[in-house]
Amino acid sequence: MIRPAVLFLLWSGPCLAADITGIPAGQMRWERTPAGVAFAALNGDRFAEPYMAMVALPAGLVSPAHVKSADMFGLVVSGTMTHVPQGFSPQEGTAIGPGGFYHIPAELPHVSSCISKEDCVTFLYQPGAFDFRPMAP
């Protein structure tokens, strides 16, 4: 049986948490790289620690082969993407559309592509700092 004191601790009535973060899509701060890829930080400093961000790749973009030091986990929000190991063409990859998930292991040379006619937007999480190390062709 739950004692009244424990019940009070389990339910303290309605409250508003002061640490809830909400960012409407129109208020995200997008930073565009020279290659045209845009990042909107959600949590963490992507160059210094694990982070979460929204990432937008322009329609038709095919990245150079590259590696990252940390695993990458993504959920596609819009557009259609492929991620393939170096040496494969984007058309050989699994097309990942809205609602789809991808995981790219750390240190795996790969090519990321936005194969749709619309920009590709993803939610991205990395359990380590962001880096982009191009590979020789």
pLDDT digits 0-9 by tens, 40-84: 999 999 999 999 999 999 999 999 999 999 999 999 999 999 999
Residue 4: pLDDT band by 50, 70, 90 thresholds?
very low
CA 122, 137, 35, 40: dihedral to nearest 10 degrees?
Answer: 30
In the chain the domains, ranked by start, together with CATH numbers, are: 38-130 (2.60.120.10)
Sorted by sequence, the CB contacts under 8 Å of residue 112 that are 6+ apart come out as 57, 62, 63, 81, 82, 83, 104
Tell me how far apart the alpha carbons of residues 91 and 63 are, in angstroms, rounded to a whole number: 14
- 121: helix, strand or coil: strand
